[in-house]
């Protein structure tokens, strides 16, 4: 079994928190792992938000497993979480699973360019709070027989597909970043102000913070039909 040696207990705890949040939204969640050198990228897709979430993890030493110097597998998020040993700062890579459609279409590795107009993190959090209040208000106004899944989805699409500030980033991406713990204050500054950036590469947008990234295709991810083994 392949064992990953993480940089320290803090990296292990942060990875555990990320996996726990993914499993909160999908108990059968899968994650795609890509390791090269001393970097491990963990990709997940919380279904409620239709975005890709990316957590970068530092490794204690360059990845190597026999003759393989890179790792690229899709595994169970739950099994990976169970394999984490925080005191030892290790993770045993579980057996591979049949990848969900999103795992076959990941954001590009390079070519990212800054996008202007992203509000500061305090404003991003306020935008999410206002959207949540609006969703609750509009759904509570519905008659009992009108509170159907189709109507709730319609209201949700109307609110969460709106863009943030003067950017093309949908509000659902910011909501995902906050829900996954990516928009929390930093220990050094007391806030993440100036730490969140918006990048673009081709059809992809990426909201990056010190705690993780959320990526979304401008055309959306819901219609992708690619399968991966």
Structural domain boundaries in the chain: 3-104, 113-198
Q: 29 with 78: CB under 8 angstroms?
A: yes
User: For residue 227, what pLDDT band results from cuts at 50, 70 and 90?
Assistant: very low
What pLDDT, on the 0 to 100 scale, is given for residue 220? 47
Chain segment 70-99, per-residue pLDDT in tens:
999 999 999 999 999 999 999 999 999 998
Q: 178 with 49: CB under 8 angstroms?
A: no
> 3-104, which class in CATH?
alpha beta
What pLDDT, on the 0 to 100 scale, is given for residue 106? 93
Share of the chain above pLDDT 70, in %: 91
| Nearest C-alpha neighbor of 3 from the set 53, 57, 59, 50 | 59
User: For residue 225, what pLDDT band results from cuts at 50, 70 and 90?
Assistant: very low
How is 31-74 classified by DSSP, letter by letter?
A: EEEEEETTEEEEEE--TTTT-EEEEEEEBSS---BTTB-EEEEE
Chain segment 106-139, per-residue pLDDT in tens:
999 899 999 999 999 899 999 999 999 999 999 9
User: For residue 48, what pLDDT band results from cuts at 50, 70 and 90?
Assistant: confident
Rounded-to-integer distance, Cα 184 and Cα 16, Å:
16
What pLDDT, on the 0 to 100 scale, is given for residue 192? 46
Rounded-to-integer distance, Cα 164 and Cα 172, Å:
10
Q: How is residue 76 annotated by DSSP?
A: E
What pLDDT, on the 0 to 100 scale, is given for residue 114? 96
What pLDDT, on the 0 to 100 scale, is given for residue 77? 97
């Amino acid at each position: 079994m392949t064992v990953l040696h993480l940089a320290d207990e803090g990296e292990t705890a942060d990875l555990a928190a990320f996996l726990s949040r993914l499993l909160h939204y999908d108990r059968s969640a899968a994650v795609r792992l890509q390791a090269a050198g001393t970097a491990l990228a963990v990709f997940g897709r919380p279904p409620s938000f239709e975005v890709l979430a990316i957590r970068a993890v530092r490794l204690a030493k360059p990845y190597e497993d026999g003759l393989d110097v890179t790792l690229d597998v899709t595994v169970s998020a739950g099994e990976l979480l169970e394999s984490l040993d925080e005191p030892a700062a290790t993770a045993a890579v579980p057996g591979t699973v049949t990848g969900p459609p999103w795992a076959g279409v990941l954001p590009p590795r390079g070519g990212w360019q800054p996008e202007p107009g992203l509000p500061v993190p305090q404003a991003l959090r306020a935008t999410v709070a206002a959207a949540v209040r609006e969703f609750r208000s509009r759904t509570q106004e519905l008659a009992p027989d009108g509170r159907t899944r189709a109507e709730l989805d319609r209201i949700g699409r109307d609110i969460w597909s709106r863009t943030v500030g003067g950017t093309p980033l949908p509000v659902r991406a910011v909501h995902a970043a906050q829900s996954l713990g990516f928009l929390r204050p930093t220990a050094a500054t007391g806030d993440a102000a100036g730490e969140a950036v918006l990048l673009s590469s081709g059809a992809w947008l990426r909201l990056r913070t010190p705690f993780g990234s959320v990526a979304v295709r401008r055309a959306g991810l819901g219609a992708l039909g690619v399968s991966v083994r």
